A and B are shown apart, each in its own frame.
Chain A
Amino acid sequence: MSSFNNKYQEELIANAAYIGSPGKGILAADESTGTIGKRLASISVENIETNRRALRELLFTTPGAFDCLSGVILFEETLYQKTAAGKPFVELLKEGGVLPGIKVDKGTIELAGTNGETTTQGLDGLGQRCQKYYEAGARFAKWRAVIKIGPNEPSELAIHENAYGLARYAVICQENGLVPIVEPEILVDGSHDINKCAEVTERVLAACYKALNDHHVLLEGTLLKPNMVTPGSDSPKVAPEVIAEYTIKALQRTVPAAVPAVVFLSGGQSEEQATLNLNAMNKFKGKKPWALSFSFGRALQQSTLKAWGGKDENIKKAQDAFISRCKANSQATLGTYKGDSTLGEGASESLHVKDYKY
């Protein structure tokens, strides 16, 4: 094979396929300490370890949530945290049939000589870190590459560096038993139209799959976490059906069918928008040789956070908001979402933050 010979091969293939199970998707709960601080600040909650632990416990113990989730991405700190009763989060997830995942990149830094374009760090000692995470119970990983659209962007350099960084990360993960989520996020910022987004998305994804091939990555043991193809944030909106058509066409043109599942990021979309768009994709008639599911962070947690406000007495209300979004997205993976979920406060709120940094 063009992929290298790996003792974890069967496991990688099984885990990647499992993540794409119908009716399930990923909760991205891997906000770094800095980023979760911004979220907590917006609901006037102090950014301390115990609050971060309490938030994640709220999410992971929501009754029924695990039926809608095949994986949860964690930040390193969370991988080692426990419930108030002392049960490791990782065990809680596993008991619930949810694979624990781990964010392994170390953020972006600017590429010299470009107009604010970036590459992603985190390759140094990555193998050893992956090994440790596997021992702690993680079974998949995530690495976010960031690309932007502009008059001269993305440059060839930005595309190449990000694609080859992703590929190197991916093969190191596989060497250590972790399914790599390949995330080449093209930011929604800008006034470009949907055609421009499609063009850039296709170019970036083609480069990614060439890089993955060069690096002998086993595609059957990977996942893709792309942006949906949409107009820029400063451009007029279009219907979910249009987003679905452009997105699937882009994927048909670039993502080999060996990839078991595509787990979309939500970018700046509101909870409801993200769900409606995912639903439209699963209703779309046409070739779709991969599962189309979600890996949502903000688009799963926004109304939950608002409902919680850091107060114990709000936990039940917050969990109700959370299960509502989980169920909506679970239905969206089946194309059966009717748009009738009880919209929690904030569910329609755009979550777009210009030049978003995790």
Chain B
Amino acid sequence: MSSFKSKYEDELIANAAYIGSPGKGILAADESTGTIGKRFANIKVENNESNRRVLRELLFTAPGCLECLSGVILFEETLYQKTAAGVPFVEVLKKGGVLPGIKVDKGTVELPGTNGETTTQGLDDLGQRCKKYYEAGARFAKWRAVLKIGPNEPSPLSIHENAYGLARYAVICQENGLVPIVEPEILVDGSHDIAKCADVTERVLAACYKALSDHHVLLEGTLLKPNMVTPGSDAPKVAAEVIAQHTVRALLRTVPAAVPAIVFLSGGQSEEEASVNLNAMNKLQGKKPWSLTFSYGRALQQSTLKAWGGKDENIAKAQAALLVRCKANSEATLGKYQGNANLGDGASESLHVKDYKY
């Protein structure tokens, strides 16, 4: 095969396939300390380790939620945290049939000579870090590359750097037993139409899969976390079916069938939008040789955070809000989501933040 021979090959293939199980998806709870600080500020909660631990315990012990999840992405700090009763989070997840994942990139830096385009850091000693994370119980990883649409963007340089960075990260993960989620996020910022987003998405994904092939990555042991194909945030909205058609077409044109599952990012979409769009994709007739599921952060946690507000007495209410979104997205992976009558406070709220930085 063109992939290198990894001793973890069977495990990688099994774990990647498991993540794409019908009715399940990923909770992205890997906000860095800085980013979770911004969320906490919104609900007037102090950003300290204890509160960060309490929030994640709230999420991982919410009744009924783990059934809707095949994976949870963690930030490094969280990988080593425990419940108040002293059970490591990693164990809570594993017992619940949920694979722990770990964010391994170190954020973006600007590419000189470009108009604010970026590449992602984190390759140095990545192999050792992955090994450590595997020992701690992680079984998949995530690395976010960021591209933007503009008059001259994304540039060939930005596409190349981000694609090859992703590929290098991916093969290092596989060498160390972690399924790499390949995430080339094309930001929704801008006034471009959906055709433009489709064009850029296809170009970026084609570059990614060429890079992955060059780097001998085992596609059956990877996941893709792309943006959906939508109009820019400043352009008129379109129906979920239109998003579904453009998105699936872009994927059919670029993502080899060997990839077991595609786990969409939610970008700036509201909780409800993200569920409705995913649902539309799973209802679409036509070729779809990969599972289509979710890897949502904001679009799973927004109303939960609002309901919690940092107060213990709100925990049950917050967990109920999370379950609503988990179930909605679980149904969306089956094309069975009916739209939610019980919209939590904030479920329709756009989560778009211009030029979003994690």
Contacts and interface: CB of A to CB of B under 8 A. Distances in A.
Interface in A200-246: 202-203, 206-207, 209-210, 213-214, 219
Given A203-B213, A210-B210, A198 B2 contact: yes
Interface string B174-216: 0000000000000000000001001100110011011001100
Given A1-B195, A1-B202, A202-B1, A249 B257 contact: no
Interface string B267-279: 0000000000000
B40 to A, nearest CB: 41
A207 B213 CA distance: 9
Nearest to B207: A210
B206 A254 contact: no
Interface string B24-54: 0000000000000000000000000000000
A206 B213 contact: yes
A289 interface: yes
B257 A252 contact: yes
Contacts of B88: none
Contacts of B289: 257, 287, 289
Contacts of A258: 249, 252-253
A255 interface: yes
B256 interface: yes
A202 B4 CA distance: 13
Given A195-B1, A203-B213, A249-B1, A254 B202 contact: no
Contacts of B257: 252, 255, 257, 287-289
Contact of B1 (A198, A213, A219, A257): A198
A199 B253 CA distance: 22
Contact of B253 (A2, A214, A253): A2
Contacts of B166: none
A2 B186 CA distance: 15
B108 interface: no
B258 interface: yes
Contacts of B203: 2, 213
Contacts of B202: 1-2, 213
B261 interface: no
B287 interface: yes
B199 A202 contact: no
A195 B4 CA distance: 12
B213 A199 contact: no
Contacts of B2: 198-199, 202-203, 206, 253
A256 interface: yes
Looking at B2, B255, B287, the one whose CB has the most chain A CB atoms below 10 A away is B2
A249 B214 CA distance: 17
B258 A210 contact: no
Interface in A162-198: 195, 198
Which of B199, B203, B207, B254 has the most CB atoms of chain A within a 10 A radius of its CB? B254
Contacts of A249: 1, 258
B interface: dominant SS: helix
B99 interface: no
A207 B210 contact: yes
Contacts of A207: 210
Contacts of A213: 202-203, 206, 253-254
Given A199-B1, A258-B249, A253 B199 contact: no
A252 B256 contact: yes
B65 interface: no
A252 B214 CA distance: 16
A209 B253 CA distance: 9
A1 B258 contact: no
Q: Which of B198, B207, B255, B287 has the most CB of A within 10 A?
A: B287
B213 A2 contact: no
Contacts of B249: 1, 258
Q: Tell which of B198, B203, B206 has the most Cβ of chain A within 10 Å.
A: B206
Given A253-B258, A256-B255, A1 B198 contact: yes
Contacts of A206: 2, 209-210, 213-214
Contacts of A198: 1-2
Contacts of B198: 1-2
B287 A210 contact: no
B199 A1 contact: yes
Interface in B285-315: 287, 289
B276 to A, nearest CB: 24
A156 to B, nearest CB: 10
B226 to A, nearest CB: 14
B196 to A, nearest CB: 10
A2 B199 contact: yes
Contact of B258 (A2, A203, A252): A252
Given A198-B1, A198-B2, A256 B253 contact: yes
Contacts of A210: 206-207, 209-210
B219 interface: yes
A195 B5 CA distance: 12
Q: Give the 4 A-B residue pairs with the shortest CB-CB distance, closest first.
A: A206-B213, A213-B206, A202-B2, A2-B202
Interface of A: 1-2, 195, 198-199, 202-203, 206-207, 209-210, 213-214, 219, 249, 252-258, 287-289
29 contacts: A1-B195, A1-B202, A2-B199, A2-B202, A195-B1, A198-B2, A203-B2, A203-B213, A206-B2, A206-B209, A206-B210, A206-B214, A209-B210, A210-B210, A213-B254, A252-B258, A253-B213, A253-B219, A253-B256, A254-B213, A255-B256, A256-B253, A256-B254, A257-B255, A258-B253, A287-B258, A288-B257, A289-B257, A289-B289
Given A210-B206, A253-B2, A289-B257, 10 more contacts: A2-B202, A199-B1, A202-B2, A203-B2, A206-B209, A209-B206, A209-B210, A249-B258, A256-B254, A258-B252
